[in-house]
Protein backbone atom coordinates (compact mmCIF):
# COMPACT_ATOMS: atom_id res chain seq x y z
CA UNK A 1 0.00 0.00 0.00
CA UNK A 2 1.31 3.41 -0.89
CA UNK A 3 0.61 6.38 1.29
CA UNK A 4 0.15 9.76 -0.34
CA UNK A 5 -1.38 12.94 0.86
CA UNK A 6 -3.37 14.95 -1.69
CA UNK A 7 -4.27 18.55 -0.92
CA UNK A 8 -7.02 17.62 1.45
CA UNK A 9 -7.78 13.93 1.10
CA UNK A 10 -5.65 11.25 2.69
CA UNK A 11 -5.26 8.62 0.00
CA UNK A 12 -4.28 5.01 0.61
CA UNK A 13 -4.19 3.14 -2.65
CA UNK A 14 -5.12 -0.47 -2.95
CA UNK A 15 -1.99 -2.53 -3.73
CA UNK A 16 -3.86 -4.69 -6.24
CA UNK A 17 -6.96 -4.22 -8.33
CA UNK A 18 -9.94 -6.58 -8.40
CA UNK A 19 -10.91 -5.39 -11.84
CA UNK A 20 -9.58 -8.43 -13.71
CA UNK A 21 -11.87 -10.70 -11.73
CA UNK A 22 -14.98 -8.82 -12.86
CA UNK A 23 -17.10 -9.91 -15.80
CA UNK A 24 -18.51 -6.61 -17.03
CA UNK A 25 -20.89 -8.44 -19.35
CA UNK A 26 -22.64 -10.18 -16.52
CA UNK A 27 -23.15 -7.79 -13.63
CA UNK A 28 -25.91 -8.01 -11.08
CA UNK A 29 -26.84 -4.45 -10.18
CA UNK A 30 -25.23 -3.17 -7.00
CA UNK A 31 -23.22 -6.26 -6.09
CA UNK A 32 -19.71 -5.50 -7.34
CA UNK A 33 -17.70 -2.57 -5.98
CA UNK A 34 -14.56 -0.84 -7.17
CA UNK A 35 -11.14 -0.85 -5.51
CA UNK A 36 -11.58 2.27 -3.39
CA UNK A 37 -14.06 4.07 -1.19
CA UNK A 38 -14.33 7.57 0.22
CA UNK A 39 -14.91 8.14 3.93
CA UNK A 40 -15.26 11.35 5.89
CA UNK A 41 -16.02 11.39 9.62
CA UNK A 42 -17.96 14.05 11.44
CA UNK A 43 -17.10 14.68 15.05
CA UNK A 44 -16.74 17.55 17.49
CA UNK A 45 -19.04 19.59 15.28
CA UNK A 46 -17.05 19.36 12.06
CA UNK A 47 -16.11 17.16 9.13
CA UNK A 48 -12.63 15.71 9.55
CA UNK A 49 -9.96 15.11 6.91
CA UNK A 50 -11.52 12.78 4.33
CA UNK A 51 -9.86 9.55 3.31
CA UNK A 52 -9.88 7.40 0.22
CA UNK A 53 -8.85 3.85 0.98
CA UNK A 54 -9.25 0.29 -0.28
CA UNK A 55 -12.88 -0.79 -0.40
CA UNK A 56 -13.70 -2.94 2.60
CA UNK A 57 -15.80 -3.54 5.70
CA UNK A 58 -16.33 -0.94 8.40
CA UNK A 59 -16.02 -1.45 12.11
CA UNK A 60 -18.85 0.21 14.00
CA UNK A 61 -19.94 0.01 17.59
CA UNK A 62 -23.09 -2.12 17.91
CA UNK A 63 -24.77 0.82 19.59
CA UNK A 64 -24.09 3.12 16.63
CA UNK A 65 -27.30 5.07 16.27
CA UNK A 66 -27.84 4.24 12.62
CA UNK A 67 -28.67 0.67 13.69
CA UNK A 68 -31.26 1.78 16.22
CA UNK A 69 -32.82 5.01 15.01
CA UNK A 70 -32.23 4.86 11.28
CA UNK A 71 -30.37 8.10 10.69
CA UNK A 72 -29.23 7.17 7.18
CA UNK A 73 -29.58 9.03 3.89
CA UNK A 74 -28.16 8.29 0.47
CA UNK A 75 -27.94 9.31 -3.16
CA UNK A 76 -27.86 7.48 -6.46
CA UNK A 77 -26.01 8.88 -9.45
CA UNK A 78 -23.93 7.59 -12.36
CA UNK A 79 -20.70 8.28 -14.23
CA UNK A 80 -20.83 7.72 -18.00
CA UNK A 81 -18.00 7.28 -20.50
CA UNK A 82 -18.40 8.47 -24.09
CA UNK A 83 -16.85 6.92 -27.21
CA UNK A 84 -13.73 9.05 -26.78
CA UNK A 85 -13.18 8.03 -23.18
CA UNK A 86 -14.45 11.27 -21.67
CA UNK A 87 -16.24 10.84 -18.37
CA UNK A 88 -19.41 12.68 -17.42
CA UNK A 89 -21.74 13.04 -14.49
CA UNK A 90 -25.34 14.09 -14.99
CA UNK A 91 -26.59 17.10 -12.99
CA UNK A 92 -24.47 16.14 -9.93
CA UNK A 93 -25.29 19.46 -8.25
CA UNK A 94 -28.86 18.16 -7.88
CA UNK A 95 -27.69 15.08 -6.00
CA UNK A 96 -25.38 17.18 -3.89
CA UNK A 97 -28.20 19.52 -2.89
CA UNK A 98 -30.60 16.66 -2.31
CA UNK A 99 -28.43 14.69 0.08
CA UNK A 100 -28.22 17.80 2.22
CA UNK A 101 -31.98 18.34 2.04
CA UNK A 102 -32.40 14.71 3.13
CA UNK A 103 -29.79 15.10 5.89
CA UNK A 104 -31.42 18.25 7.24
CA UNK A 105 -34.77 16.44 7.57
CA UNK A 106 -33.12 13.62 9.52
CA UNK A 107 -31.29 16.09 11.79
CA UNK A 108 -27.97 15.08 10.24
CA UNK A 109 -25.15 17.51 9.40
CA UNK A 110 -24.93 18.81 5.84
CA UNK A 111 -21.84 17.89 3.84
CA UNK A 112 -19.68 20.68 2.33
CA UNK A 113 -19.86 21.13 -1.44
CA UNK A 114 -16.09 21.21 -2.05
CA UNK A 115 -15.64 18.01 -0.04
CA UNK A 116 -18.37 16.31 -2.05
CA UNK A 117 -17.03 17.19 -5.50
CA UNK A 118 -13.36 16.86 -4.65
CA UNK A 119 -14.01 13.50 -3.00
CA UNK A 120 -16.16 12.17 -5.80
CA UNK A 121 -13.84 13.29 -8.60
CA UNK A 122 -10.70 12.04 -6.86
CA UNK A 123 -12.36 8.67 -6.27
CA UNK A 124 -13.50 8.47 -9.90
CA UNK A 125 -9.98 9.24 -11.09
CA UNK A 126 -8.53 6.43 -8.98
CA UNK A 127 -11.15 3.94 -10.16
CA UNK A 128 -11.52 5.29 -13.70
CA UNK A 129 -10.89 1.89 -15.33
CA UNK A 130 -14.14 0.74 -13.75
CA UNK A 131 -16.15 3.20 -15.85
CA UNK A 132 -16.78 1.01 -18.87
CA UNK A 133 -17.47 2.52 -22.28
CA UNK A 134 -20.59 1.52 -24.19
CA UNK A 135 -24.08 2.95 -24.35
CA UNK A 136 -25.94 1.85 -21.24
CA UNK A 137 -22.85 0.95 -19.21
CA UNK A 138 -22.11 3.16 -16.25
CA UNK A 139 -20.51 3.39 -12.86
CA UNK A 140 -23.25 3.69 -10.27
CA UNK A 141 -22.29 6.12 -7.51
CA UNK A 142 -23.66 5.71 -4.03
CA UNK A 143 -22.94 8.57 -1.61
CA UNK A 144 -24.43 8.03 1.84
CA UNK A 145 -24.31 9.31 5.37
CA UNK A 146 -24.92 7.39 8.61
CA UNK A 147 -25.00 8.11 12.34
CA UNK A 148 -22.04 6.36 13.96
CA UNK A 149 -22.10 7.70 17.50
CA UNK A 150 -22.06 4.87 20.01
CA UNK A 151 -25.11 5.26 22.24
CA UNK A 152 -28.66 3.95 22.23
CA UNK A 153 -30.05 7.13 23.69
CA UNK A 154 -32.87 8.26 21.43
CA UNK A 155 -31.73 11.54 19.96
CA UNK A 156 -29.73 12.60 16.96
CA UNK A 157 -26.10 11.55 16.91
CA UNK A 158 -23.12 13.84 17.12
CA UNK A 159 -20.88 11.56 15.03
CA UNK A 160 -21.43 10.53 11.43
CA UNK A 161 -19.71 8.96 8.44
CA UNK A 162 -20.19 10.30 4.94
CA UNK A 163 -19.07 7.79 2.34
CA UNK A 164 -19.02 7.23 -1.40
CA UNK A 165 -18.86 3.77 -2.95
CA UNK A 166 -18.90 2.88 -6.66
CA UNK A 167 -20.46 -0.07 -8.45
CA UNK A 168 -20.19 -0.86 -12.18
CA UNK A 169 -23.59 -1.25 -13.84
CA UNK A 170 -24.85 -2.46 -17.18
CA UNK A 171 -27.82 -1.18 -19.08
CA UNK A 172 -30.52 -3.15 -17.46
CA UNK A 173 -33.81 -4.19 -18.77
CA UNK A 174 -35.77 -6.12 -16.22
CA UNK A 175 -38.80 -6.49 -18.48
CA UNK A 176 -41.94 -4.39 -18.49
CA UNK A 177 -43.61 -4.50 -15.12
CA UNK A 178 -47.11 -4.94 -13.78
CA UNK A 179 -47.98 -2.73 -10.82
CA UNK A 180 -50.49 -2.74 -8.02
CA UNK A 181 -52.10 0.56 -7.04
CA UNK A 182 -51.84 0.85 -3.25
CA UNK A 183 -55.10 0.84 -1.32
CA UNK A 184 -53.86 0.13 2.18
CA UNK A 185 -50.15 0.75 2.59
CA UNK A 186 -48.23 3.99 2.04
CA UNK A 187 -44.61 4.97 1.58
CA UNK A 188 -44.96 8.50 2.91
CA UNK A 189 -47.31 10.88 4.63
CA UNK A 190 -47.75 14.65 4.94
CA UNK A 191 -45.13 16.06 7.21
CA UNK A 192 -43.08 12.88 6.95
CA UNK A 193 -39.84 12.04 5.17
CA UNK A 194 -41.12 10.92 1.77
CA UNK A 195 -39.21 13.69 -0.03
CA UNK A 196 -35.93 12.61 1.58
CA UNK A 197 -33.76 9.82 0.21
CA UNK A 198 -33.82 8.19 3.60
CA UNK A 199 -33.00 4.51 4.09
CA UNK A 200 -36.14 4.00 6.18
CA UNK A 201 -38.40 4.92 3.27
CA UNK A 202 -37.09 1.86 1.47
CA UNK A 203 -37.45 -0.42 4.48
CA UNK A 204 -41.11 0.58 4.72
CA UNK A 205 -41.74 -0.41 1.11
CA UNK A 206 -40.41 -3.96 1.13
CA UNK A 207 -43.30 -5.61 2.93
CA UNK A 208 -46.17 -4.17 0.85
CA UNK A 209 -44.08 -4.77 -2.29
CA UNK A 210 -43.66 -8.42 -1.29
CA UNK A 211 -47.43 -8.72 -0.92
CA UNK A 212 -47.85 -7.25 -4.40
CA UNK A 213 -45.30 -9.73 -5.76
CA UNK A 214 -47.23 -12.65 -4.30
CA UNK A 215 -50.19 -11.35 -6.25
CA UNK A 216 -48.17 -11.26 -9.50
CA UNK A 217 -47.28 -7.54 -9.52
CA UNK A 218 -43.64 -6.47 -9.36
CA UNK A 219 -44.13 -2.99 -8.01
CA UNK A 220 -46.56 -0.80 -6.12
CA UNK A 221 -47.91 2.53 -7.29
CA UNK A 222 -48.05 4.50 -4.08
CA UNK A 223 -51.06 6.65 -3.40
CA UNK A 224 -51.61 9.39 -0.84
CA UNK A 225 -51.67 8.00 2.70
CA UNK A 226 -54.90 9.68 3.79
CA UNK A 227 -57.32 8.81 0.97
CA UNK A 228 -55.46 6.51 -1.47
CA UNK A 229 -57.20 8.51 -4.19
CA UNK A 230 -54.16 10.22 -5.69
CA UNK A 231 -51.13 8.58 -7.27
CA UNK A 232 -47.70 9.58 -6.00
CA UNK A 233 -44.79 7.34 -7.04
CA UNK A 234 -44.12 3.92 -8.55
CA UNK A 235 -41.87 1.69 -6.47
CA UNK A 236 -38.71 3.72 -5.93
CA UNK A 237 -39.27 5.84 -9.02
CA UNK A 238 -41.33 8.86 -9.95
CA UNK A 239 -44.28 7.93 -12.11
CA UNK A 240 -45.57 9.29 -15.41
CA UNK A 241 -48.85 8.66 -17.22
CA UNK A 242 -49.62 9.34 -20.84
CA UNK A 243 -53.28 10.06 -21.49
CA UNK A 244 -53.84 10.58 -25.21
CA UNK A 245 -50.66 12.55 -25.96
CA UNK A 246 -50.43 14.43 -22.68
CA UNK A 247 -47.82 13.46 -20.13
CA UNK A 248 -48.92 13.64 -16.49
CA UNK A 249 -46.95 13.44 -13.28
CA UNK A 250 -47.74 14.33 -9.69
CA UNK A 251 -46.23 17.56 -8.34
CA UNK A 252 -43.35 17.16 -5.90
CA UNK A 253 -44.21 17.78 -2.27
CA UNK A 254 -43.07 16.65 1.14
CA UNK A 255 -44.42 13.21 0.18
CA UNK A 256 -42.82 12.83 -3.23
CA UNK A 257 -39.13 12.62 -4.00
CA UNK A 258 -37.87 15.35 -6.32
CA UNK A 259 -36.25 13.05 -8.88
CA UNK A 260 -33.53 14.30 -11.21
CA UNK A 261 -34.83 12.00 -13.94
CA UNK A 262 -38.37 13.29 -13.39
CA UNK A 263 -37.43 16.95 -13.69
CA UNK A 264 -35.20 16.23 -16.70
CA UNK A 265 -38.05 14.46 -18.53
CA UNK A 266 -40.36 17.39 -17.85
CA UNK A 267 -37.77 19.80 -19.28
CA UNK A 268 -37.27 17.61 -22.37
CA UNK A 269 -41.04 17.34 -22.89
CA UNK A 270 -41.41 21.10 -22.69
CA UNK A 271 -38.58 21.64 -25.16
CA UNK A 272 -39.99 19.03 -27.57
CA UNK A 273 -43.47 20.54 -27.44
CA UNK A 274 -45.03 17.57 -25.66
CA UNK A 275 -47.88 18.64 -23.40
CA UNK A 276 -46.90 17.92 -19.81
CA UNK A 277 -48.93 18.56 -16.69
CA UNK A 278 -47.63 18.49 -13.12
CA UNK A 279 -50.75 18.20 -11.04
CA UNK A 280 -52.48 15.92 -8.57
CA UNK A 281 -53.63 12.83 -10.48
CA UNK A 282 -56.62 10.84 -9.31
CA UNK A 283 -56.55 7.07 -9.44
CA UNK A 284 -60.11 7.27 -10.79
CA UNK A 285 -58.82 9.32 -13.73
CA UNK A 286 -56.29 6.61 -14.61
CA UNK A 287 -58.92 3.86 -14.30
CA UNK A 288 -61.34 5.84 -16.46
CA UNK A 289 -58.63 6.47 -19.07
CA UNK A 290 -57.79 2.75 -19.07
CA UNK A 291 -61.47 1.96 -19.60
CA UNK A 292 -62.02 4.43 -22.43
CA UNK A 293 -58.75 3.63 -24.20
CA UNK A 294 -57.03 7.01 -23.66
CA UNK A 295 -54.44 5.64 -21.21
CA UNK A 296 -51.56 4.91 -23.53
CA UNK A 297 -48.58 4.53 -21.19
CA UNK A 298 -47.40 4.40 -17.60
CA UNK A 299 -43.71 4.44 -16.76
CA UNK A 300 -41.41 4.96 -13.80
CA UNK A 301 -38.40 7.31 -13.99
CA UNK A 302 -35.21 7.17 -11.93
CA UNK A 303 -31.43 7.09 -12.25
CA UNK A 304 -30.89 3.33 -11.92
CA UNK A 305 -33.21 2.05 -14.67
CA UNK A 306 -33.76 5.47 -16.38
CA UNK A 307 -37.27 4.50 -17.50
CA UNK A 308 -39.24 1.45 -16.49
CA UNK A 309 -42.34 0.81 -18.64
CA UNK A 310 -45.49 -0.52 -17.04
CA UNK A 311 -47.58 -2.98 -19.05
CA UNK A 312 -50.46 -3.58 -16.67
CA UNK A 313 -51.89 -2.48 -13.35
CA UNK A 314 -54.35 -3.61 -10.78
CA UNK A 315 -56.72 -1.48 -8.77
CA UNK A 316 -59.42 -2.75 -6.41
CA UNK A 317 -59.20 -6.32 -7.71
CA UNK A 318 -59.51 -5.24 -11.33
CA UNK A 319 -56.65 -5.91 -13.71
CA UNK A 320 -55.98 -3.54 -16.61
CA UNK A 321 -53.64 -4.16 -19.55
CA UNK A 322 -52.23 -1.04 -21.16
CA UNK A 323 -52.58 -1.00 -24.92
CA UNK A 324 -49.39 0.86 -25.74
CA UNK A 325 -48.68 2.57 -29.09
CA UNK A 326 -45.86 1.49 -31.42
CA UNK A 327 -43.87 4.61 -30.63
CA UNK A 328 -43.79 5.13 -26.92
CA UNK A 329 -42.90 8.19 -24.94
CA UNK A 330 -40.93 5.81 -22.72
CA UNK A 331 -38.52 4.97 -25.57
CA UNK A 332 -38.45 8.53 -26.82
CA UNK A 333 -37.49 10.02 -23.45
CA UNK A 334 -35.07 7.26 -22.60
CA UNK A 335 -33.16 7.88 -25.82
CA UNK A 336 -33.21 11.64 -25.50
CA UNK A 337 -31.93 11.48 -21.95
CA UNK A 338 -29.29 8.82 -22.53
CA UNK A 339 -27.99 10.60 -25.63
CA UNK A 340 -27.33 13.62 -23.45
CA UNK A 341 -25.82 11.54 -20.65
CA UNK A 342 -23.45 9.67 -23.00
CA UNK A 343 -22.42 12.79 -24.92
CA UNK A 344 -24.10 11.58 -28.11
CA UNK A 345 -26.29 14.65 -28.47
CA UNK A 346 -26.23 18.36 -27.83
CA UNK A 347 -26.80 19.31 -24.23
CA UNK A 348 -29.01 22.41 -24.54
CA UNK A 349 -29.74 22.35 -20.81
CA UNK A 350 -26.13 22.27 -19.58
CA UNK A 351 -26.70 19.05 -17.65
CA UNK A 352 -23.47 17.22 -18.46
CA UNK A 353 -20.58 17.68 -16.06
CA UNK A 354 -17.25 16.50 -17.35
CA UNK A 355 -14.88 14.85 -14.91
CA UNK A 356 -11.34 15.47 -16.06
CA UNK A 357 -9.77 12.06 -15.58
C1 LIG B 1 -34.19 8.05 -5.92
C2 LIG B 1 -35.68 8.08 -6.02
C3 LIG B 1 -36.35 8.51 -7.19
C4 LIG B 1 -35.64 8.86 -8.46
O5 LIG B 1 -34.81 9.97 -8.35
P6 LIG B 1 -33.67 10.23 -9.46
O7 LIG B 1 -33.01 11.47 -8.98
O8 LIG B 1 -34.38 10.41 -10.75
O9 LIG B 1 -32.79 9.03 -9.46
C10 LIG B 1 -37.73 8.57 -7.16
N11 LIG B 1 -38.44 8.21 -6.08
C12 LIG B 1 -37.83 7.78 -4.95
C13 LIG B 1 -38.66 7.42 -3.78
C14 LIG B 1 -36.45 7.70 -4.88
O15 LIG B 1 -35.86 7.27 -3.76
Give pLDDT tens digits for 23-43: 999 999 999 999 999 999 999
In angstroms, what is the span from residue 3 Cα to ligand 1's centroid? 37
CA of 5 to the centre of ligand 1 (A): 35
Position 302 confidence tier, pLDDT thresholds 50, 70, 90? very high
Q: What is the pLDDT of residue 231?
A: 98
**Structural domain spans, the chain:** 10-171, 177-325
Residue 171's pLDDT is what?
Answer: 83
Determine the pLDDT at residue 55.
98
Nearest to 306 by CA among 167, 146, 184, 137: 137
Atom of ligand 1 nearest to the CA of 304: 9
What is the atom index within ligand 1 of the atom nearest the CA of 77?
Answer: 9
Gap between the Cα atoms of 234 and 98, Å rounded: 20
Tell me phi and psi for residue 200, to 5 degrees: -60, -30
pLDDT digits (tens, 9 = 90+) for 66-123: 999 999 999 999 999 999 999 999 999 999 999 999 999 999 999 999 999 999 999 9
> Is 60 exceeded by the pLDDT of residue 5?
no
The answer to whether residue 2 scores a pLDDT higher than 60 is: no
CATH topology of domain 10-171: D-amino Acid Aminotransferase; Chain A, domain 1 (3.30.470)
Cβ–Cβ < 8 Å for 119, 40: yes
Q: Is the predicted pLDDT of residue 3 greater than 70, yes or no?
A: no
| Ligand 1 in reach of 92 Cβ (< 6 A) | no
pLDDT at 172 over 80: no
pTM: 0.96
Residue nearest to atom 12 of ligand 1 (CA): 236
Task: Give the class (CATH, top level) of 177-325.
Answer: alpha beta
Confidence of residue 7 (pLDDT cuts 50, 70, 90): low
pLDDT in the model for residue 174: 72
Beta bridge partners of 48: none
Share of the chain above pLDDT 90, in %: 96
Specify the residue with its C-alpha closest to ligand 1, atom 11.
237
Beta strands in 148-218 (DSSP E): 160-169, 177-181
- Which ligand 1 atom minimizes the distance to the CA of 75? 1
Question: Across residues 285-302, what is the average pLDDT?
Answer: 98
Instruction: Please tell me the chain's helix, strand, coil percentages from 3-state DSSP, rounded to the nearest 5.
Output: 25, 30, 45
Mean pLDDT of the chain: 96
Task: Give buried/exposed letters for 242-269 (b at 16+ CB in 10 A, else e).
Answer: bbeeebbbbebeebbbbbbbbbbbbebb
Distance (Å) from CA 235 to ligand 1 centroid: 9
Cα dihedral 67, 226, 101, 206 sign: positive
Indicate if ligand 1 lies below 6 Å from the C-beta of 188: no
Query: What is the C-alpha separation between 119 and 27, in angstroms, rounded?
Result: 25
Amino acid sequence: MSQTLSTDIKITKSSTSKINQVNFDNLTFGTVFTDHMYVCDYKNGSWQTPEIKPYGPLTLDPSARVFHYGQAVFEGMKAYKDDNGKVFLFRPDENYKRINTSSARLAMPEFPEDYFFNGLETLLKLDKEWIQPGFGNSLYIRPFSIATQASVSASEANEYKFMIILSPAQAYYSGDVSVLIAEKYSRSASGGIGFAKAAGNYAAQFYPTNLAKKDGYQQVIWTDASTHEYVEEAGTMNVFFRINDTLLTAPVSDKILDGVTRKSLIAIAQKEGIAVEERPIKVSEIVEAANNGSLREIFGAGTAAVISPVKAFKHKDKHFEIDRPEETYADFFKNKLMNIQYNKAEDPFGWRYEVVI
